[in-house]
Amino acid sequence: RHPLTECRMPAPLLLAALLSPAALLPRAAAPAGNALPAQRRARLPSMAAGGAADAADDEKLAKALKAMTGFANSYCKNTGTTYCSDPSIPAVVIKGLAEHKVVLGAPLCPCRHYEDKAAEAKDGYWNCPCVPMRERHECHCMLFLTEENEFAGDSQKLSVEEVESHTESMGSVL
């Protein structure tokens, strides 16, 4: 049996907890729209200033989310893989990839812990699609699933709106 089938926590919450344990902590209020929490803004130099920089960086994230959603849809089609039957799983992963694209300049796998994310992004091994996915069709994130995978769904396409809908209440996965 797969560990996810033994867990009683809803899959989106489980993945969010795996990606960011802080996601399980209660929040006073979710940020409005695509606004990012202050600690996230501090990671990007232009975001620390606030105001107009926030809007510019929100625009960068929106653009990256659109690009990563398009990439993931194309990659599914080109490799004959599908998304997980629970669409919130690929949505969370795509959002993490988009955030890493903005912050690190590369779509570093958001499902792993790194001592030095910038060095890992530069190395490229875990940049999506990672080497294990390219070489053996093994996706640790459950983003690209082969038909043999018991969690594989039928869909090879998600819209940006679906990704946003499934991830709007969880804040940043970083």
Active site residue ranges: 111
Number of C-beta neighbours around residue 151 at 10 A: 16
Bond prior to 129 in cis (omega within 30° of 0):
yes
Provide CB contacts within 8 A for 111, sequence distance 6+.
Answer: 15, 18, 19, 93, 96, 140, 141
Structure tokens at 92: 């969370």
Which region holds residue 82: left if phi is over 0, alpha if psi is between -120 and 50, else beta? beta
